[in-house]
Amino acid sequence: MLNHKLSRRTFLKATAVTTGAMAALGAEGLSLESWQKAAAASPETIVPTICEMCGVKCGILAYVKNGRVVKIEGNPKHPFSNGRLCARGNAGIKTLYDPDRLRQPLKRVGEGKFVPISWEKAIAEIAAKLKELKGKYGPETLVWACHPELIAPWEKRFTEAFGSPNFTGHAPTCYSNRNVAYNVTYGTLPGVDYGNVKYYLSPGRNITEGINNAVVQKIVAARQNGAKLVALDPRLSNFAAWADEWIPLRPGTDGAFLLALIHVLIKENLYDETFVREKTVGFEELKAEVEKYTPEWAEKITGIKAATIVRIAREMAAARPAAVVDPAWHGGLGGMYHNGVQAGRAAACLNALLGNLGAKGGLTFSPGMNLAKEDKLPGPPLPKVTAKRWDGAGGEKWPLAKGLGLIQTLPEVVESGKPYPVKALIVSHMNPVRSCPDSQRFIATLKKLELVVAIDIQMSDTAYHAHYVLPESSYLERSDPFEVAGPTIALRQPVVTPLGDTKGEDEIIKELAEAVGIGEFFNFSLKEYNNTLLAPLGITHEQLEKEGVIKVETTPPKYDKLPTPSGKIELASELMRKAGGPAVPTWEPPLVQPDRSNFRLLHGHVAMHTHTSTQNNGWLHGLMPENELWIHPSRAKELGIKNGDLVEVESSVGRVRIKARVTEGIHPEAVFMAHGFGSMVPTQHLAYNRGANHSLLVPILTANFSGAAAQCEVLVKVKKVG
């Protein structure tokens, strides 16, 4: 007969991944002596730290036993998690203990071929190459690209100390349209008081799948308290499905829908007149512009009935000032279109007409916090960087894209050598081969560079084409600069010792800085950095190690004078006018239009994955191993496609194969696939070649004014395979 009694060996195996060994014992008495002994000999410790399964950075509590993390829970003291975690946060252990993780520095010796190299040698070789390239082409030949995480200030500091202005983030593949739209209207980017909204209109923000933990918690509570939630989306996302109303508009027409709402608010005199008079400029210009944007006009463009548009406008007006259009990530679905800034502007102006800035349930600014500046750090002041940026962000051509960058234009710059030769790229926490449009073109670009260094915890598609891969310790193995989370300061700290020969990025940057001769600008430890900047708050890194999260004093946000040229909300924007754009939001059709022979390709997030970083996580992979192509039954029928069929999707730049999901939940003119699948790295054993990489299909198109990558301006043909 089988013997299933737990031996010590199996116990240790079990506890290696979980506290679940207790399950074997029931709750009516622990019967296994060996378990009791082992448990007694190895007490559980709880370490407060910060999650990095996505970019939100929720506070967590890590339970450690026998030197291994056995459980991760939300930290009840942290305002982003409130003790709760999403699927990805709950799956952190599987990323930490992923057998495919990078464990040592690697040097590329051929296509897909790497050999181990020591840290010392890797740093020395990279530094020598950087110095050589700096001598040949000037320091601006270096671009440092990242998804800005807690270490980002150090990355920027390194780039500037090296003499390059080219520190660049992921904004154009995410929020550039939104940021530009709100910057020119409000002077900054407002947040939303989600917990108190009474009427919430989401222009394409899939709030329950592109998850921000705290926001989900608040919006569920708001709905429970009677708020009405409305989703504008060509696809029945999980948010659209859960919301009170789904408005399945034609893709790329959010701007038209929002402009018609503005038309109704003004025409029916439903807007907040006092607020508009006192807090805004340019109302008459806006009014004149939207005169033509009638609900009937919008019906023809959006496919949504004029009566629905009128009703939504009236409902929003009745709920103001606790009625809000979410600035969202993409400033409206339009954010991924060429017309994205206009859609974002329409949303920004609509919010202003609702008079919701600073109101309960409206738009909010962050509270102020008294942190020291980096000039208080030991060492000389940073040299002034004089070179112009590689991508023109903030310059003559892209004045409004300052601080946002145009990472997707790297191929154009490298191919043309203009404005100057970019020869070196350091990439951290980012996988531009799949997060930027046109993966193949990006890979070809990486091959043209003389030095590519990837800093990551796993072999990303970008790292796979790097000359050097520097393995970072995972979020459970390292510390980082402190986090500002609402009115609190939180700390990421090591929970276990690194499993491999990995380092925190602070160490990597310090060593690299030393080796290229700019060590004097990193003449401090991570602890000293944190303590210097936190000093005015009267708290220390050491306190944070113990407490994890500390509430600090903040100053309430000011709404009386905004950082715009007029100091008010600019319905007619001076900055837009200066940049050569229309001062008031204007309808601009999407750049490309599908016909009966093709579809517009849409993409988006799912709740159980983060970008391209979690597909090799066992639990998350188990929940969703691959993406599917959503296609409407009427279109699928014409093409002879049944649910589950393998189909080929082809655009002007690429072709992928993917399984079809025939569903009523998508606009017939569009197809959709979730982002993040189709890993092209064979050593990612779970993720490799599962599902399709949508970036292979998207051409590089840059939106006006913001420099955003217009990733939904892509037409595809779909056919059944075999």
* Chain residues in the site for other proteins (CB under 8 A): 1-2, 4-6, 10, 14, 17-28, 31-32, 71-74, 83-91, 93, 208-209, 211, 213, 216-217, 220-221, 223-224, 236, 238-239, 241-242, 246, 248, 607-608, 618-623, 632, 663-668
Q: By C-beta, is 521 or 630 nearer to other proteins?
A: 630
**Residue 85 beta carbon to other proteins: minimum distance, rounded to whole angstroms:** 5
Contacts (Cβ under 8 Å, ≥6 apart) of 414: 422, 445, 448, 449
Alpha helices in 209-336 (DSSP H): 213-224, 238-242, 254-267, 273-279, 283-290, 295-302, 306-319
Distances (CA, A) of 592 to 92, 146, 313, 410, 536: 40, 30, 29, 23, 53
- Helix (H, G, I), strand (E, B), or coil: what is residue 279? helix
Amino acid making up residue 131:
K
Nearest residue (CB) to other proteins, 510 versus 632: 632
User: 452 to each of 114, 237, 662, how far by Cα in Å?
Assistant: 14, 37, 41
Are the beta carbons of 663 and 630 closer than 8 angstroms?
yes
Q: Which is nearer to other proteins, 86 or 544 (CB)?
A: 86
**CB atoms closer than 10 angstroms to residue 220:** 17
Q: Which is nearer to other proteins, 461 or 669 (CB)?
A: 669
The residue assigned the tokens 């002007």 is: 652
Nearer to other proteins, 81 or 532 (CB): 81
Minimum CB distance to other proteins, residue 381 (Å):
45
Task: Tell me whether strands 599-604 and 569-570 are parallel, antiparallel or unpaired.
Answer: unpaired
What end-to-end distance do the CA atoms of the chain give, in Å?
49
Nearer to other proteins, 94 or 129 (CB): 94
Amino acid (one-letter) located at 439:
S
Kindly state the smallest distance separating residue 316's Cβ from other proteins, in Å: 21
Residue 93: CB minimum distance to other proteins, A: 6
Distance of closest approach, residue 187 Cβ to other proteins, in angstroms: 33
Residue among 518, 510, 528 nearest 119 (CA): 510
Report d(CA 443, CA 466) in Å as an integer: 10
Rounded to the nearest 10 degrees, what angle do helices 254-267 and 340-353 cross at? 30
User: Nearest 10 degrees: CA dihedral of 367, 370, 373, 374?
Assistant: -90
Q: In whole angstroms, how close is the CB of 176 to other proteins at the nearest point?
A: 27
Residue 209 CB, shortest distance to other proteins, in Å, is 8
Q: How far is the CB of 635 from other proteins (least distance, A)?
A: 11
Residue with smaller CB distance to other proteins, 4 or 277: 4
**Do the Cβ atoms of 320 and 356 come closer than 8 Å?**
yes
Q: Identify the DSSP state of 460.
A: -
Give dist(CA 212, CA 192) in Å, integer.
13
Between 222 and 656, whose beta carbon lies closer to other proteins? Answer: 222
Residue 440 · residue 654 · CB < 8 Å:
yes
Query: Measured from the CB of residue 459, what is the shortest distance to other proteins in angstroms?
Result: 21
Measured CA to CA, the distance from residue 153 to residue 581 in angstroms comes to: 32
Minimum distance from CB of 591 to other proteins (Å)? 25
CB of 595 to other proteins, least distance (A): 19
**Max Cα separation, the chain?**
86
Q: How far apart are CA 166 and CA 421, in angstroms?
A: 12
Q: Compute the distance between CA of residue 263 and CA of residue 563 in angstroms, rounded to an integer.
A: 27
| Shorter beta-carbon distance to other proteins: residue 71 or 345 | 71
User: Judged by CB, which is closer to other proteins: 14, or 290?
Assistant: 14
The nearer residue to other proteins, 224 or 597, going by C-beta atoms, is 224
Of 449, 472, 453, nearest in space to 102 by CA: 472
| Least distance in angstroms from the C-beta of 214 to other proteins | 9
Residue listed under structure tokens 């607020």: 275
Q: Which is nearer to other proteins, 90 or 473 (CB)?
A: 90
